[in-house]
Amino acid sequence: MTLHLTDANFEKEVATLGRSPTGEADKFVLVDFFATWCGPCNTLGPILEKVTEQFKDKVVLAKVNVDEAPIASQKFNVDKIPCIALLKNGKQINGFVGLVPENSIKEWLENAIKE
């Protein structure tokens, strides 16, 4: 499942995404900051969907269109896209910028969620 975040829902959704019904943080949130006009973003999007599906017990995918959510993008200092942020408890713990191969993303995500 992919959630589309906007400036209006970003704070609320990030605070609740990845939490169990008891409020415990049981999943990481992978946020994809992208734009529809960005070629590398359009290539990376399906890769992220595929990878997060493989990690669905540990990771939730959220997408932020930087043109439609400038406040959320600014909060994460997004100045290049695609920009990926990995969150735990609503705070960024890791991330990367640019088009990255699928195997590298899998390895990065495996290492990031182990820490």
User: What residues are labeled active site?
Assistant: 38, 41
Tell me which H or E stretch contains 11: helix 10-16
- How far CA 17 is from CA of 55, 64, 110, in Å, comes to 15, 14, 19
3-class DSSP state for residue 9? coil
Placement of tokens 């695609």 in the chain: 82
The one-letter amino acid code at 20 reads S
